[in-house]
Amino acid sequence: MTDLPFPSRTIIATRSSAMAMAQTASVAALLRQAHPGVVAHFSQITTTADRQYGSLDIVGGKSAWIRELDAALVGGRADLAVSCAKDLPGPHERGSAVVIGAVLPREDARDAVVLPAGADPTPLHDLRPGSLIGTIAPRRAAQLHTQFPQLTVRPLRGNLDTRIKRLDEGADGLDALVVSFAGLNRIGLADRAAEVLSTNVLMPATGAGFVIVEHRAGDSIAARLLEPINDRSAQRLLQIERGVLGELRGDCRTACSVHATYDGTETQVQATAAVFDANTGAAMEVSAGRPVGDDRALIDEVVQLLRANGAGSLLPPR
């Protein structure tokens, strides 16, 4: 219990999807545990991505998921905002008005296959040739093209529960979805995963499995409020992943991914980054490891390795 003078009412901005609400409820529970007496109120916000159906390129990139949340923080209508780290724009695409104050422990970062309700459990490689697989992520599309060339990827966006509902109803003619396994778990649908794909098959999204809490830059009260629930080990991995993404200038149109992990003793960090050709699925992948604490050097090494191996031709101009 803390004796810091926190206001008893803390407003948390969140999207209203099932997954967003589940994430925010988890954050609120952690805050109550760390600060008895602090009451969290949810402010449900409809974002641009919720209002408009189409590719992220059309609706304004990944900022479409968080633009209104940021505005609520900056405008003083909310104290905190909860998001999936993988939905954040790259560090180079955001201003400095909002900062990450807490990173929760990483959940399973892998992707999962969801089949229509009642379908026999079938791994991707056993689906009939030409089967339609729904995903909006260029990263997933490029890797599916390479790993499962017999399948056809069709863009599909929307809240996770909505996508699954449409799959079950046959609304889009899809045979399967490839989605975040952590997302399935958060909304209580982990049993819908017909297959959980190894990271060697599909490299996870940058920031996959991390829930983050943001606040206004310079808000020392919010920063102290979040300090007890921040997982520093998770924070380091996310900073490395987003650090590489920022240096690569990756955005919603870029088929790239960065995935950082600890060794068994958490004394070394291994970072793997890949840039994919969205047309052919060909990958430029590199890995590097450094002792914990050499985070900036690890970021620089991974970026240099990618560029030295020709990844620049697949990346946005600097």
Task: List, for residues 71-105, the tens digit of each pLDDT value.
Answer: 999 999 999 999 999 988 888 777 789 999 999 99
Indicate if 221 and 99 belong to the same structural domain: yes
CB contact set of 316 (below 8 Å; sequence gap of 6+): 249, 250, 251, 253, 254
Report residue 188's pLDDT band, with 50, 70 and 90 as the boundaries: very high
Indicate if 168 and 227 belong to the same structural domain: no
Helix spans in 181-231 (H): 181-186, 220-226
Residue 239 lies in a domain: no
Percentage of residues in the chain with pLDDT exceeding 90?
71
Indicate if 59 and 130 belong to the same structural domain: no
Burial of 86 (0-12, 13-18, 19+ CB in 10 A): buried
Residue 73 lies in a domain: yes
Indicate if 62 and 15 belong to the same structural domain: yes
CATH number of domain containing 254: 3.30.160.40
Indicate if 100 and 217 belong to the same structural domain: yes
Residue 285 lies in a domain: yes
CB contact set of 68 (below 8 Å; sequence gap of 6+): 45, 46, 47, 48
Residue 298 lies in a domain: yes
Residue 299 lies in a domain: yes
Sequence letter at residue 105:
P
pLDDT at residue 288 above 90?
A: yes
Indicate if 222 and 274 belong to the same structural domain: no
Indicate if 217 and 78 belong to the same structural domain: yes
CB contact set of 293 (below 8 Å; sequence gap of 6+): none
Indicate if 133 and 85 belong to the same structural domain: no
Which pLDDT score, from 0 to 100, does residue 203 have?
94
Among residues 156, 144, 187, 141, the alpha carbon closest in space to that of 54 is found at 156
CB contact set of 100 (below 8 Å; sequence gap of 6+): 212, 213, 214, 235, 238
Residue 314, classed as helix, strand or coil, is helix
Q: Which domain holds residue 144?
A: 111-196
Specify the number of domains making up the chain. Answer: 3
**CA atoms of 144 and 141, how far apart (whole Å):** 5
Residue 221 lies in a domain: yes
CATH number of domain containing 132: 3.40.190.10
Q: Please write the tens of the pLDDT for every residue from 130-167.
A: 999 999 888 899 999 999 999 999 988 788 999 999 99
* b (16+ CB within 10 A) / e for 117-143: eeeeebebeebeeebbbbbbbbbbbbb
User: Strand locations in the chain, DSSP E?
Assistant: 9-14, 39-44, 80-84, 98-103, 111-114, 132-134, 152-154, 176-180, 193-196, 211-216, 256-262, 268-276, 283-291
Residue 240 lies in a domain: no
Residue 313 lies in a domain: no
Q: How far is CA 7 from the centre of its chain?
A: 30
Indicate if 144 and 292 belong to the same structural domain: no
